[in-house]
Amino acid sequence: MIFRRTRAALLAASILSVPVAMSPLMVQPAAAQWIVYDPTNYVQNVLSAARALEQINNQITSLQNEATMLINQARNLASLPYSSLQRLQQSVQQTQQLLGQAQRVAYDVQQIDQAFTSTYGNASMSASDQQLVAQARERWQNTVGGLQDAMRVQAGVVGNIDTNRAEMSALVGQSQGATGALQAAQAGNQLLALQAQQLADLTAVVAANGRAQALTEAERAAAAEQGREQRRRFLTPGVGYQPGNARMFPNGN
């Protein structure tokens, strides 16, 4: 009886000891099954990501501004694709050619001085009547030539008006459609050149008209001086009657 109880106690003890011996094989560590959440670390990570995104956006904006600046600089440096210089120079050359074709007494200081000494000076008291008439005719031809030259210059300047109108319209259009500061400045400079060409035409007309008027006044003054000389010659008494011997009958005694 005692032996059975002792055997039963040993069996019970061995059964109770089995879970304890097998527990390391059935239970895993708790750290491998749970994820630890740290709110402070999460907030810091979110703020860092936001700051990095803001820096990227700022860099993108800066690159866009630089690209816009480069585009504007390229527009400001773009040259005007239109030039009126050749047409304006042609107009000026045409006016210069008309002035250079001045007849007889031209726009030359030495030639003018020579003409006023020989033709428009005081009437020579020793010149013959034929010489006085020839000088008067020469002065008249100079006056007529000056008037014709003035009218030719006026006609040339009037012919330039249509060209100037077309150039002004084109330059104003180019100025209004300029894409940059350089194009606008170049269009403005060409408009100033057009004004200079118009002033040159105006100067040519004034010079031609003044020349014609000066020749007319010079002819009038020389004609008055020649008239005084011719009147003096007319009023100067000639050689009077001189008595002499006369023979009515050559063969008589």
CA atoms within 13 A on the CB side of 3: 0
From first to last of its 253 residues, the chain has per-residue pLDDT tens of 544 444 544 444 444 444 444 444 444 554 555 666 677 888 888 888 889 899 999 999 888 888 888 887 777 778 888 889 899 999 999 999 999 999 988 898 998 999 888 888 888 888 888 888 899 999 999 999 999 999 999 999 999 999 999 999 999 998 888 888 888 899 999 999 999 999 999 999 999 999 999 999 999 999 998 888 888 888 887 655 566 676 655 565 5
Distance CA 96, CA 171 (A): 24
Tell me how many degrees the CA angle 213-218-137 measures, rounded to the nearest 5. Answer: 105
171 domain residue, yes or no: yes
8 domain residue, yes or no: no
1 domain residue, yes or no: no
CA distance to 91, 158, 168, 178, 193, per residue, from 165 (Å):
12, 11, 5, 20, 13
This prediction's pTM: 0.65
Q: What is the longest distance spanned by two Cα atoms in the chain?
A: 241
Question: Where in the sequence is the domain holding 141, given as residue range(s)?
Answer: 40-120+129-233
100 domain residue, yes or no: yes
54 domain residue, yes or no: yes
pLDDT at 242: 63
79 domain residue, yes or no: yes
12 domain residue, yes or no: no
Residues contacting residue 168 through CB under 8 Å, at least 6 positions apart: 191, 194
CA distance to 97, 115, 211, 225, per residue, from 217 (Å):
26, 14, 10, 12
Residues contacting residue 174 through CB under 8 Å, at least 6 positions apart: 80, 82, 183, 187, 190
How many domains would you assign to the chain? Answer: 1
Helix, strand, or coil here: 192? helix
21 domain residue, yes or no: no
